[in-house]
Amino acid sequence: MSTQTIFGILFLLGGIFQSITAYLIYQGHEHYIMRLTNRKIGIVIYIIFALLLFLLAYINLFGRGHQPG
């Protein structure tokens, strides 16, 4: 397994957890981001982080130059 695949899997897991965190904030759970900003902006911040991580996962798993095996 190449390091590029490992990074892709880690970024994918990070994106999933960021999405879960955004959903929990939406449901009303307290989070440390709530000390800095309100709920809507916190949700947007976590969604942006999740999308960035999903993009990095896509690039590492399916991008050009990936050598399977």
User: Is 48 within the bounds of a domain?
Assistant: yes
Domain count, the chain: 1
Asked whether residue 67 is assigned to any structural domain, the reply reads no
- pTM of the full predicted structure? 0.82
* 68 within domain boundaries: no
With respect to residue 27, please indicate whether it lies within any of the assigned structural domains.
yes
Identify whether the C-beta of residue 58 lies closer than 8 Å to the C-beta of residue 15: no
**Whole-number Å distance between alpha carbons of 29 and 43:** 11
50 within a domain of the structure (yes/no): yes
Q: Which domain does 50 fall in, by range? A: 3-62
Question: Using one digit for the tens of pLDDT, what is the confidence trace for 16-62?
Answer: 999 999 999 889 888 777 778 888 888 899 999 999 999 999 999 88
Does a structural domain hold residue 30? yes
